[in-house]
Structure 1
Amino acid sequence: MKIEKILNNNVITVIDEVTKLEKVIMGRGLSFNKKIGEEIDETKIEKVFKISNPNENLLFQQLINEIPMEYLKISEKIISYAKEKLNVEFDEHIYISLTDHLTFAIKRLQSQEIIKNNLLWEIQRIYSKEYEIGLWAIDFIEKELDIKMGKDEAGFIALHIINASIFESMPNTMNLTEIVQDILNIVKYYFTIEFNENSISFDRLITHLKFFAKRVVTKAKVNYEELPFIHMVKENYKSEYNCALKIKTYVEKYHDYKIDDSELIYLSLHLHRVLSSFENE
C-alpha cells in the first residue's frame, strides 16, 4: 500500500486499488519517517476505515487531526461491539458523530461539567438493547482511560447507535423517542394497564411503534391495501379503535402527520393483538 496522505504519525490514507476510494489506515507509528508515495509496513496496521462518501471521509480525516488516537480506537471498538450485538449495519457517519461526541464528553467530565440526559428514562425503556451497549461502552471507557461516566452518558451513546441504525439525525431520533413514549402513555392510560416490559408482547408493541413513529417523523406513508373490514374492526374492537383515534388526534395535532383509515385500522388491529397477548401472559 502506498501513502496517499499523511494525517499524523499514526494515521495515513491510501487509495483502494479495486474501488479507487480513499481509505483511512490507523496504526502506531505507521507514517513515522515516511513520505507520500512510499510503501507502508502493513504489519503495523491496526484498523482500516472505509467511508465511501467523499465529504464524510474528509470530515473524518479532519476530526482525526484534532483528537487523541485513543479516542478513535475506543469509538471504533464501541461501534464494532454494537454491530455485533445488534447484527446491523450502521450509517458510516457514526464514525464521525460518536467519536466527536466522546471527545467532548471526556472534556466536559474533565472540566466537571455534567449534562443531564432528559430522555434517559425513555431510552432505557424503548431502546433497552442500545442502552445496554451504552452501559458496556462507559465501562469500557473507564477501563481504558480511567474516566468514570454516568448513566446519562450511556444514554447519549445509545442515541448515537440508534441514529446510525435507523439512518436518522439526532433531532429526529430524539423526536421519535418522545413520540413512542407519548403513544405508550396514551395506550397505558386508556386501557389502565401496566406493561410487563420484559415480555415479548411489549417488545412487539415497541417495535411497531418505532416504525410508526419513524413514518411520523419523516412524513412517510405506507401504502396499505384497502381494508374492506373497517366496519368490522370498529364494531368488534371498539376499545382498540377508540384508542387508535386518540393516537391519531395526538399525532395530527402535535406532529402534523395525517393518519388515513387504512393506517388507523392497522394500528387498531395491532393494538388488539398486543393487548390480547398481555392478557395471556
Structure 2
Amino acid sequence: MKIKKVLNNNTVVVEEDGIERICMGSGIGFNKRKGDVILRSDAEKIFVMADENERFQELLKTLPVSHVEVAEEIISYAERTLNVPLNTHIHIALTDHLSFAIERLQKGLVIENKLLNEIKTLYRKEYEIGLWAKELIQERLNVTIPDDEIGYIAIHIHTAKEQTNSMESTMKQAAIVKEMIEIIESHLNSSVSYESVSYQRLIAHIRFALQALETGDPLHTLDAEMHELIKTKYSDSYRCAIKIKNHLKEEYDLVFPESELAYISLHIQNMFNAK
C-alpha cells in the first residue's frame, strides 16, 4: 500500500486498488512520506470512510492526538466486547463528541443528559462500555467524565452498530420511554425505582413494542377473555395504559393495539404492587 498522505505519527492515508483507505497503527506515519510503501501488517486498523474521508482527515489534523487515540481505543474495545463491526462513521462522531466533551469539562461546563436512566436500561451493554471508557479517559487524560457523558458514549456506540437505527431514532426511543415513565409516575403519584425488577421488565417490553411498531413486526397477541379480565381486575393500571396510548398517538402518531395495553397494564400493576 502506497502512502498518499501522512496525517500524524499514527495515521496515514493510503491508496490501494484505486481506493483511499485510512490506516492506523502505533508509529505507522513516523518519518514516512507520500509515496512510501507500508505493509498491511503494519496497520492495526484499516478502513474506508467513503464520502467522509476528507472530514475525518481534517478532524485528525485539528484535534489533540491524545483525544483521537483514546476514542480509537474505545471503538476497538466496543467492537471486541459487542463482537460486531461498528459503522465507520463512529470514527468521526465519537471522536468529535469526546474531544468536545473533554474541552467542556476542562472549562467546568457540564451538559445534563436527561435521558440517562433510560439509556442505562435500554442500552446496558453499551453503557458498560462507557464505564470502561470513563476509566480509560481518567487514566490517559486525567479527566473525570460524569455519568451524563457515559450515557452519550453509549448512544454513539449503539447507533454505530451495523443494522441499527440512526442517532435520531435511538434518542427518540429513549425519549418516548422517559415520557411513558413520567405518565406512570404521575398516575401512581410516586417515583419509580429505576433499579427495580418491575421497571426493568417494563422497559424491556416497551423497547420490544416500539421496535415492532417501527419495523412493522407483529406484536404480542392476547385472547379477548384474558384481555377483559386484565382490564377489569386491574382497572386503574389499565386507565394509566390508556393515558400512555393517547400520548403516543398524539405526540408520535404511534398506535398501540388493545392487546398491548393489557400487557403494559400488567407491568404497571407490578409497579403498584412494589410500592
TM bucket by the smaller chain? 0.7 to 0.9
Unaligned runs of 5+ in 1: none
Measured against aligned partners, the alpha-carbon deviations of 1:222-262 in whole angstroms (never above 9, x if no partner) come to 25389683x33431221365444322101011222234xxx
Residues 1:237 and 2:234 aligned together? no
Partner of 1:268: 262
In structure 2, C-alpha distance between the alignment counterparts of 1:89 and 1:178, rounded to whole Å:
26
| Match for residue 68 of structure 1 among 64, 67, 74 | 64
Pair 1:93 & 2:89 matched = yes
Q: 1:254 to 1:57 in 2, by over 3 A?
A: same
**Would the alpha carbon gap of residues 117 and 33 (structure 1) be closer, same or farther in structure 2, given more than 3 Å must change?**
same
Q: Mapping of 1:193-272 within 5 angstroms? A: 197=195, 199=197, 202-214=199-211, 220=214, 222-224=216-218, 229=223, 231-238=224-231, 239=234, 242-259=239-256, 263-269=257-263, 272=266
1:83 and 2:88 matched: no
Given candidates 120, 124, 130, the residue that maps to 2:126 is: 130
The answer for the alignment partner of 2:24 in structure 1 is 26
Cα 1:83–1:210 change in 2 (3 A) is: farther
Identical pairs, percent: 37
TM-score of the pair, normalised by structure 1: 0.76
Structure 1 counterpart of 2:4: 4
**Cα distance change of structure 1 residues 50 and 198 upon mapping to structure 2, 3 Å threshold:** farther
Per-residue Cα deviation, 1:125-170 (whole angstroms, up to 9, x for no partner): 4434333322221211010112222222222222222332473444
**CA separation of 1:134 and 1:222: change in aligned 2, threshold 3 A:** same
How many aligned residue pairs are there? Answer: 268
Distance 1:232 1:188, change over 3 A: farther
Deviations 1:190-231 (A, max 9, x none): 5789557364x6444323322434566xxx3525389683x3
Given residue 248 of structure 1, which amino acid in structure 2 is its aligned partner?
K
Aligned counterparts, 1:142-161, within 5 A: 142-161=138-157
Q: How is 1:10-49 mapped onto 2 (pairs within 5 angstroms)?
A: 10-16=10-16, 21-40=19-38, 44-45=42-43, 47-49=44-46
- What is the CA RMSD across the aligned residues, in angstroms? 3.6
**1:4 and 1:275 mapped to 2: Cα distance?**
63
1:20-76: per-residue Cα shift (whole Å, max 9, x none)? 64321123443344343321266653x31424x511333322322222332222112
Give unpaired runs (5+ residues) of structure 2: none
Please say if residues 248 and 254 of structure 2, whose CA atoms lie closer than 8 Å, have aligned partners that are also in contact: yes
- TM-aligned CA distance change 1:99 to 1:248, over 3 Å: same
Residue 180 of structure 2: aligned partner: 183
Q: Cα gap change, 1:133/1:57 in structure 2, threshold over 3 Å: closer, same or farther?
A: same
